[in-house]
């Protein structure tokens, strides 16, 4: 009777776990371990009853053996599942040109006179899945720190620019092997699993921007002017109209279009003000495709948020300048 009652309790708990999984979706954590423990307990209750010898207090050592085998089977299956999650041809040197173009992406780091952050950026992104190479937009003049290539087995390439312009981050890249590009500032580190999720999302919508920093603009009442809103407006209102390219995926073809087809007065406005290149890129892509950007949630650190010593986004009148860009 005790065994039957225990079985009924386990059945109820298993059913509750399954129903919970149906409602919230499988997150990849929590459920397998819980279910396995319940199965182990159930095996103990049933096999213990079958193998118990009359008059003895314990059955033979079959039950522990079965439990161990079930545990090993679960761990092996979990390991094989993780291995199968790796992209085909992901191992270095085994991917075809077409696989590289579609199944990997290039990191493009925008940096300016912040060497310690650049080092952290290269170290971090070199560990992330499906990264083909790291390109650094270098507008500082002088010799770049080529020793950064020693920090990783991935190619680290400096794209040298003769003039200092914030537009340089969107200049076409020679010798690029991938279609997908992850644009990122040197002060932002996106956690690797979040980055890969963003890449997989972009692969389903390759003609638009996919990023981690949504923003919204609005039209000022009674005026032919627009306002650029801070991030909390997105949080409060639940809507956004753009994602910032300080951490966003896009197709490399838009680098060519930005450089060659963006209206000259827009390009010059961005150059003179050292601001709004992300707004210009967002407007250009949406104008070309009619598609909205895609915001993906992710875990990342942004050390530029607390940079009060020259960071563009922390300067005086930053939001006024951004609002002017949207209006123009």
Q: What is the pLDDT of residue 219?
A: 86
Q: What is the pLDDT of residue 74?
A: 54
The residues, ordered by sequence, that sit 6+ positions from 66 with a Cβ below 8 Å of its Cβ are 43, 47
Range with the poorest average pLDDT among 188-197, 231-240, 311-320: 311-320
Q: Write out pLDDT tens, residues 27-60.
A: 333 334 444 344 344 434 443 443 333 444 444 4
Does the pLDDT value for residue 86 go beyond 50? no
The string of DSSP codes covering 121-145 is HHHHHTTSTTEEEEEEEE-S-S---
Say if residues 180 and 212 touch (Cβ distance below 8 Å).
no
Residue tagged active-site, from 185, 186, 187, 278: 278
Say if residues 180 and 249 touch (Cβ distance below 8 Å).
yes
Q: Write out pLDDT tens, residues 190-227.
A: 999 999 999 999 999 999 999 999 999 998 877 788 99
Looking at residue 27, the DSSP 8-state letter turns out to be -
Residue 112 CB-half CA count within 13 A: 14
Report the C-alpha gap between 59 and 144 in whole angstroms.
72
Positive or negative torsion for Cα 297, 300, 302, 305:
positive
- What ranges in 190-290 are assigned the alpha helix state H? 192-203, 231-237, 253-261, 264-273, 277-289
Q: Write out pLDDT tens, residues 136-175.
A: 999 998 999 999 999 999 999 999 999 999 999 999 999 9
Measuring CA to CA, how many Å separate 289 from each of 208, 240, 283, 285, 322?
8, 18, 10, 6, 23
Question: Is 265 designated active site?
Answer: no
In the numeric block, the tokens 């003179």 are attached to: 272
H or E element, residue 113 = none
Positive or negative torsion for Cα 195, 198, 202, 204:
positive
């Amino acid at each position: 009777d005790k065994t039957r009652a225990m079985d009924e309790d386990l059945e109820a708990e298993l059913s509750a776990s399954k129903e919970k999984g149906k409602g919230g979706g499988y997150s990849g954590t929590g459920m397998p371990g819980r279910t396995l423990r319940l199965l182990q307990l159930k095996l103990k209750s049933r096999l213990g009853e079958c193998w118990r010898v009359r008059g003895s207090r314990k059955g033979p050592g079959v039950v522990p053996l079965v439990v161990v085998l079930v545990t090993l089977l679960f761990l092996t299956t979990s390991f094989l599942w993780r291995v199968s999650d790796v992209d085909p041809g992901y191992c270095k040197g085994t991917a075809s040109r077409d696989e590289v173009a579609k199944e990997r992406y290039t990191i493009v780091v925008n940096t300016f006179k912040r060497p310690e952050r650049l080092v952290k950026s290269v170290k971090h992104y070199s560990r992330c899945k499906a990264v083909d190479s790291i390109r650094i937009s270098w507008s500082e003049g002088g010799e770049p720190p080529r020793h950064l290539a020693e920090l990783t087995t991935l190619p680290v390439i400096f794209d040298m620019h003769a003039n200092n312009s914030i537009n340089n981050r969107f200049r076409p890249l020679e010798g690029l092997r991938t279609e997908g590009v992850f644009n990122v500032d040197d002060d932002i580190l996106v956690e690797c699993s979040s980055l890969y999720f963003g890449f997989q999302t972009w692969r389903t919508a390759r003609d638009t921007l996919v990023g981690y920093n949504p923003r919204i603009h609005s039209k000022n009442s009674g005026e032919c002017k627009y306002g650029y809103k801070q991030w909390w407006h997105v949080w409060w209102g639940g809507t956004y109209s753009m994602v910032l390219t300080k951490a966003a995926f896009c197709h490399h073809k838009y680098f060519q279009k930005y450089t060659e087809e963006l209206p000259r007065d827009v390009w010059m406005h961005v150059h003179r003000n050292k601001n709004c290149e992300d707004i210009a890129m967002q407007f250009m892509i949406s104008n070309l495709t009619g598609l909205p950007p895609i915001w993906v949630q992710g875990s990342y650190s942004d050390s530029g948020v607390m940079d009060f010593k020259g960071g563009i986004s922390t300067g005086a009148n930053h939001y006024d300048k951004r609002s002017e860009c949207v209006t123009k």
